[in-house]
Homo-oligomer: A and B are copies of this chain.
Amino acid sequence: MRVVVVGGGSWGTAFACLAVETGPARLVLRNATAAERLRTERHNPRYLPWLEVPESVEVATLADPDALAGAELVVIAVPSRSTVDVVEALRARIPARAGVLSLTKGLDPATGGRLSERWHDALPGTPFCVLTGPNHAEEIAEGQPTAAVVAGDVDLAARVQERLTSERFRPYVNDDLLGTELCGAAKNVIAIAAGMTHGLGYGDNTLASLITRGLAEMARLGTACGARAETFHGLAGVGDLVATCTGRHSRNRRAGELLAAGMPADRIEGELGQVAEGIWTTSSLLAMAASVGVELPISAEVEEAIGGKPPLECVHALMTRAPRQWE
């Protein structure tokens, strides 16, 4: 099963290196200069620059007419806000019988809807899955063992699992696409709150309470939308949430720390040099929650912080507005 990864950020680059260990893989970049350097020097100049990309990873640019030639699995590793453009650029080019696997964790900033809906609308006959879980690209690039969740088209999910399973990468199949997708979107918002509390000097007790409340908030939204609660208590939910809220490599946690340090939200991605999806997801997530009558107190404070409310006031509001009843 020939894998073609579209998107040369950290996760796309690490994923191509992972995929080539168990079969043929190609990495397609949108930036031609970066692609050329990657092809000749085997390093991604901007992301994971210490990683040597094996010669066996083919490199192409999106403008290359053969970029997707022979693809049996097209892996999408672009930010949520680029998805609309990438869907447009790819819809006529994805080979018949190929499946699409999205690594993007977020919602469509334009419509507030789920990214899977974009793909289903654009390519109604193409099997589609998402891959999520506690998957910091940096650690996967280092060769660390990792588990992940694949959800969506059942047949494609089984083929993705077979194609990618190795000693160090274990994808599990979950039949709850909706829940899996919402976990990936919502956990980045909670991670911003986690970064804010950490940045303000709160300790591990507070962080653990915040993660617990965040998990409850995610599951409340998910089950109200029709997802299964179990998804939120598994790898895609608590697993990815813990990794993103506590991990050294988490950009969304780092975004929260920068907010706590007084940096305006619109300067954070420039500082990080990478996308922090939670910043783009928060308002869509709140709109989705409002549409099903669910309150998301943590996400609401993150939205306020992104809008300029002092993070100390946001965290204080969360503390004093603690739930009345709780397990």
Residues of A within 8 A of B (CB): 133-136, 139-140, 142, 144-147, 149, 170, 172-174, 176, 202-209, 211-212, 215-216, 219, 230-231, 233-240, 242-243, 246-249, 319, 322-323, 325-327
Contact = CB atoms under 8 A, between A and B. Distances in A.
Contacts of A136: 203-205
Nearest to A246: B246
A139 B240 CA distance: 26
B144 A206 contact: yes
A207 B248 CA distance: 12
B235 A209 contact: yes
A174 B204 contact: no
Nearest to A237: B327
Contact of A243 (B173, B205, B248, B319): B205
Given A208-B239, A209-B239, A211-B239, 18 more contacts: A134-B204, A134-B212, A135-B205, A144-B203, A144-B205, A145-B319, A146-B209, A147-B205, A172-B323, A205-B247, A208-B242, A208-B246, A209-B235, A212-B242, A216-B234, A231-B327, A234-B326, A237-B327
B174 A327 contact: yes
A25 to B, nearest CB: 20
B146 A322 contact: no
A79 to B, nearest CB: 21
Contacts of A173: 325
A204 B239 contact: no
B139 A248 contact: no
Nearest to A212: B239
A206 B146 contact: yes
Closest 8 CB pairs of A and B: A234-B327, A134-B208, A208-B243, A204-B247, A212-B239, A172-B326, A139-B203, A208-B242
